[in-house]
Structure 1
C-alpha cells in the first residue's frame, strides 16, 4: 500500500511560477519611454540655437549701424550755396544708445551660449541655469526693445520730418544713411523677438520641471 505522504491531493500541489522573460524584465515602464522620446537635452539644444541667432542679429545690427556714415552736398543759403556735410550714427544719442545696448546683448549672447553648451554635458545643471537665464533675458529684452524703439523714432523723423516742430526730413538727402538705420532697426527687432522666444522656452522648461 502506498504511503499517504506520497499521495498529495490535487489542491495541495504547489504551483510553480513561470519564469519572466529577460526582455520583459528589462523593458522600461511606459512613462519612462515617453520621457526618453523628449529628453531635456532637446530643449537645451533649442536654446543654444536661439542664443546663436541672438548673437548673429545683434552683431549684424551693430555693424550696419556703425557703417551708416554718408557724405553729401547739401544746399546752403549763402555762398558757396552748397556745403559738404556728413551724417553718422554719433550725431544722435538714440543711435549711440542703440549701439551700446546691442553690443551688451551680443556679449551676453556669447557668454550664455558657451555656458549652455557646457551645461549640455550635465542636463541637471542646465535646469538650474534656466531660472537665472530667464531673469537676465527679461532684463535684456527691455534694454534691446527700448533701444530699437528709440532708433525707430529718430529714423521716422528723418524719413517724414515733423512740420509742427519744424524738423525737416533728411532721408531725401542721406538715403544710404537712412537705409542703414532702417536695416539695423529691423534686425534689432528680430533680436527682440528671439529674446521673447528664449523667455518662453525658459518658462516652459521651468513649468515642465515643476510638474514632475
Structure 2
C-alpha cells in the first residue's frame, strides 16, 4: 500500500440459536521496504475484550497472504485495531477473525495498493565490440544502467533489471557475444511495477 486508510469489518450472523457478532475498525499504513508486518492494539476502554484481539490479527494475517491485487501477498504494512464493538453473547473468536479480514480488505483497497516486483543487481562483462548491443538489450528489458567500466580489456556493465525480464538472458547473451559474455546476478530490492506492466500481470492472472 502507498498511503494510510481505514476500514470497517462487521460480521453478524443469526441462525436459530446463538448468533455470531464481530465488529472492528482498522487503520493501515505503509512501512518502509523490508520492515514487514506489524499489528498494533489501540483499543481503549474495553470496547472490544482482549480475548478477541488475537483472532482479529489472525484474520488480518490470512488476508495479508491472499492480498488485494490479483491475489499476491502483501508486504510492509502496519495495521492498528482502534475501535469496534462486541455482543455479550454472540461474539466469538471466529466472528472477529472474519471481521478483521473484512476490515483489512476494505482499508487496503482505499490505501492505493501497488504491485511490487523483484529487482536484480546485474553485472555483465563483454568484449568491447558487443558493448552497444548489450546495453540496447538491457534497456529493452527495462534495465537501468548504473555504471560502465573497463576490466582486463573487457567492458563491465552494472545495472538493475526486473527479475521478470531476465528469463532466457543467458542464452541471449551467449548468442549476442559469440559465447564470450558473462554475467552475475543477485537480488537487490522490491520496487513498484509501472502501471502498464502491473495491468498486464493482473489481466494475466484473470485469464
Bigger helix fraction: 1
Q: TM-score, normalised by structure 2?
A: 0.26
Bigger strand fraction: 2
- Which structure would you say has the larger Rg? 1
- Give the number of the structure with larger relative contact order, counting CA–CA contacts within 8 Å between residues 6 or more apart: 1
